[in-house]
Structure 1
Amino acid sequence: MSSQLFDAIDYLEKEKGINKEILLEALEAALISAYKKNFKSASNVRVDLDENAGTMRVFSRKTVVEEAEDIQEEISLAEAKQIDPNYGIEDVIEIEVTPKDFGRIAAQAAKQVVTQRVREAERGVIFSEYADREEDVMTGIIQRLDPRFVYVNLGKVEAKLPEAEQMSVEEYNVHDRLKVFVTKVENTSKGPQIYVSRSHPGLLKRLFEMEVPEIYDGTVEIKSVAREAGDRSKLSVYASDPEIDPVGSCVGQRGQRVQAIVNELKGEKIDVVEWSEDPEVYVSNALSPSKVVAVLIDEEAKATTVIVPDYQLSLAIGKRGQNARLAAKLTGWKIDIKSESEALEEGLLNHSTDDENSTYSDEDEELFE
């Protein structure tokens, strides 16, 4: 029986990837527990596991005293000297007490404890594997749904997609395959708990990293992301090499790259704008697709007043203020939008711009939509 247990431990290490030392510790604890339970032993017991010989032996540890009062934990000096004349007071003697039928008893007792430790070790392996995937994108398959969560199978573990992290425009069905952003990995008594999101801005960022080689290799850098999941997002990008067009790299030929991400996010509109260290330029870019006449900066308040052509005012603000709101999130600057005529009345501008496109066109509406 002993050799079979050691063979099983070797198998578990190779097939399950569980450290042999963890299993041996579990086996030793199980054997000590079995011996104490079945033979009413004191706590001073040690188990010796010999893998090479395939044996398990139990030793009782006793302290040498002048006269033994507790024979389970003590041995008299006279008895100790019969074993070895060199023993003295307070020395500890180990005496083998392995019962003849200990193998059978040990196997029964060890099975449950070792199984539990194996399960814990497997959970630890899974936790370590998925802990490294925090803030990463994984592909999973929806297993089941309830009012609070959508449960997504990520391979070795089932992740939870909370209602607050779901996209309102998205319908979730069992067996659907979807990409999710891993927000948190916890190691609990019930095993690893993984929480994922479909609405997190990090999902958009990671999807661009996966779709755009220039972002993946660092040629193009994502500076900021602002997202209202399922509706509209803005992404600012930058390339230190002036020969590289960061926006064009993200959009792709005929919009193929950005369209692949739009499709993954169920039609969510995405504005890709160029980042600039100049706040005037950056804020102007962030309000795309609106045209901007001027950007007035208040450095102390980190606020801007943006002036746009009269016919572009509604486009700049966006439906329910969305375009302006996302631009503010993207840049980190407060944005107050005024029409050109309003700015002239308030003395913010001393002249009117001459713009050939003096009316709000259907094409502008299409850009906004």
Structure 2
Amino acid sequence: MSSELLDALTALEEQKGISRDVLIEAIEAALVTAYKRNFNQAQNVRVDLNLQTGSMVVYSRKDVVEEVEDDRLEIALEDAKFINAAYEIGDVVEEEVTPRNFGRIAAQTAKQVVTQRVREAERGLIYEEYVDREDDIVTGVIERQDARNIYVSIGKVEAALPVNEQIQGEVYKPTSRIRVYITKVERTTRGPQVIVSRTHPGLLRRLFEMEVPEIYDGTVEIKSIAREAGDRSKISVYAHNEEVDPVGSCVGAKGARVQTIVNELNGEKIDIVEWSEDPVVFVANALSPSKVLDVQVNEEEKSTTVVVPDYQLSLAIGKRGQNARLAAKLTGWKIDIKSETDARELGIYPSETSTFVPREDAEEVKFDLYGDDEE
């Protein structure tokens, strides 16, 4: 029995990565349970498992006291000294109480308990592995689907992709590979539960970190992201080195870098704009690809009034207001867009206090992968 036990423990340690000490503790705890259940014993006991011989010995444990109240848990000092004269009040006396047929009963009863402890240890290891991967991107294989979730195999666990984290209109075919963003890892009675997303802005951030070396090494920083998954996103970027073009770094030669990300997101449009600490410049950039004539800022209300050429009003607003809405999310400023004609009629353009200088290349700020977005 000893060789079989040692072989089993060694195999579990190597194959499952579970410490032998954890397994031994589980076995001894199971044997204590088996003893109390099968022999109707309520006293304190411990089980000594000898891996060399394979023997299992049960010891009762009694506290040495002056006056005994429960002889199952306590022993009088006088009786303890009869066993060993060195015993004093507060010591613990151990006495072997191994039943004759304990080995067979213990093995049967302990099997289920040990299996459960091993399973819990495995789940703990898996949880520790994946909890450190929250807010990270992983590649998985679509396994199956039910009314609420798509289930994606990402290694040792099957992650759930809820309906509200799925991109509308995206088709999820079983056995196909997919990149997902881990949003949450939780402990449950059935093991670790991993929730993943295809709509989270973090997915877009991680994809850019993977495709753009300048972002990965910190030369270029993603300052903010506004995303309407499956349709359009905007990201603002900033270069800590003045000689580096942050937008150009993200776009890549002939748009190769951003096109890779667009393909991964099944055609989701991505506007890349340069971040600025000046809200006038930042808001103007955020409304790309529209050309901006003027930006007037209300610091108290954290709002802006933006003037654009008449022919670009629909482009600045975007379909169903999407371009303006994303620009507001990206910058954190309210944006009210006026055409040049309306602004002149209201007497707010040209503004005597405005210092905004329209960029001549404003329409070229974004690499145009999609054509214009006018209604």
TM superposition score normalised by structure 2: 0.90
Indicate conservation of the 8 Å contact 2:269/2:370, yes or no. Answer: no
| Unmatched segments (≥5 aa) in structure 1 | 358-362
Indicate conservation of the 8 Å contact 1:306/1:337, yes or no. Answer: yes
- Cα distance in 1 for residues equivalent to 2:204 and 2:370: 25
CA change 1:56–1:339 in 2 (3 A) is same
Over the matched positions of the two proteins, sequence identity in percent amounts to: 66
Partner of 2:134: 134
3-state SS of the aligned residue for 2:205?
helix
> What is the CA-CA distance between 1:196 and the residue it aligns to?
0.8
Aligned CA RMSD, in angstroms, stands at 2.6
> What is the CA-CA distance between 1:140 and the residue it aligns to?
0.8
3-state SS of the aligned residue for 1:124?
helix
Amino acid of the residue matched to residue 287 of structure 2?
L
> What is the CA-CA distance between 1:29 and the residue it aligns to?
1.0
Trace 1:1-369 onto structure 2 (pairs within 5 A).
Answer: 1-52=1-52, 54-64=54-64, 72-75=72-75, 79-87=79-87, 91-350=91-350, 366-368=371-373
Compare 56-65 and 135-144 and name the one that shifted more.
56-65
CA change 1:77–1:165 in 2 (3 A) is closer
- Cα distance in 2 for residues equivalent to 1:354 and 1:174: 50
- Cα distance in 2 for residues equivalent to 1:2 and 1:209: 53
- Cα distance in 2 for residues equivalent to 1:197 and 1:241: 33
CA change 1:292–1:89 in 2 (3 A) is closer
- Cα distance in 1 for residues equivalent to 2:147 and 2:204: 26
- Cα distance in 2 for residues equivalent to 1:71 and 1:323: 81
CA change 1:340–1:93 in 2 (3 A) is same
- Cα distance in 1 for residues equivalent to 2:162 and 2:22: 35
3-state SS of the aligned residue for 2:371?
helix
- Cα distance in 1 for residues equivalent to 2:65 and 2:295: 91
> What is the CA-CA distance between 1:72 and the residue it aligns to?
3.9
> What is the CA-CA distance between 1:341 and the residue it aligns to?
1.1
3-state SS of the aligned residue for 2:244?
coil
CA change 1:100–1:7 in 2 (3 A) is farther
Compare 34-43 and 254-263 and name the one that shifted more.
34-43
3-state SS of the aligned residue for 2:187?
strand
Indicate conservation of the 8 Å contact 1:238/1:276, yes or no. Answer: yes
- Cα distance in 1 for residues equivalent to 2:358 and 2:65: 107
Amino acid of the residue matched to residue 334 of structure 2?
K
Amino acid of the residue matched to residue 339 of structure 2?
S
Indicate conservation of the 8 Å contact 1:2/1:56, yes or no. Answer: no
CA change 1:225–1:67 in 2 (3 A) is closer
> What is the CA-CA distance between 1:147 and the residue it aligns to?
1.6
Indicate conservation of the 8 Å contact 1:3/1:55, yes or no. Answer: no
> What is the CA-CA distance between 1:80 and the residue it aligns to?
3.5
> What is the CA-CA distance between 1:288 and the residue it aligns to?
0.4
Amino acid of the residue matched to residue 188 of structure 1?
T
- Cα distance in 2 for residues equivalent to 1:64 and 1:326: 75
Amino acid of the residue matched to residue 277 of structure 2?
E
TM superposition score normalised by structure 1: 0.91
Indicate conservation of the 8 Å contact 2:160/2:196, yes or no. Answer: yes
Compare 43-52 and 162-171 and name the one that shifted more.
43-52
User: CA offsets per residue over residues 103-145 of structure 1, 9 Å max, x none?
Assistant: 2222212111010011011111111111111111111111111
- Cα distance in 1 for residues equivalent to 2:360 and 2:23: 79
Partner of 2:354: none
> What is the CA-CA distance between 1:367 and the residue it aligns to?
2.7
Compare 34-43 and 209-218 and name the one that shifted more.
34-43
| Unmatched segments (≥5 aa) in structure 2 | 352-356, 362-367
CA change 1:72–1:311 in 2 (3 A) is same
Amino acid of the residue matched to residue 107 of structure 1?
A
CA change 1:4–1:72 in 2 (3 A) is farther
3-state SS of the aligned residue for 2:322?
helix
3-state SS of the aligned residue for 1:191?
coil
- Cα distance in 2 for residues equivalent to 1:162 and 1:43: 50
Indicate conservation of the 8 Å contact 1:2/1:103, yes or no. Answer: no
- Cα distance in 2 for residues equivalent to 1:12 and 1:139: 28
Indicate conservation of the 8 Å contact 1:308/1:339, yes or no. Answer: yes
- Cα distance in 2 for residues equivalent to 1:206 and 1:365: 23
> What is the CA-CA distance between 1:240 and the residue it aligns to?
1.2
User: CA offsets per residue over residues 307-359 of structure 1, 9 Å max, x none?
Assistant: 001111010000110000000000000000001111111111248x99999xx
CA change 1:320–1:65 in 2 (3 A) is closer
- Cα distance in 2 for residues equivalent to 1:274 and 1:75: 80
Indicate conservation of the 8 Å contact 1:2/1:54, yes or no. Answer: yes
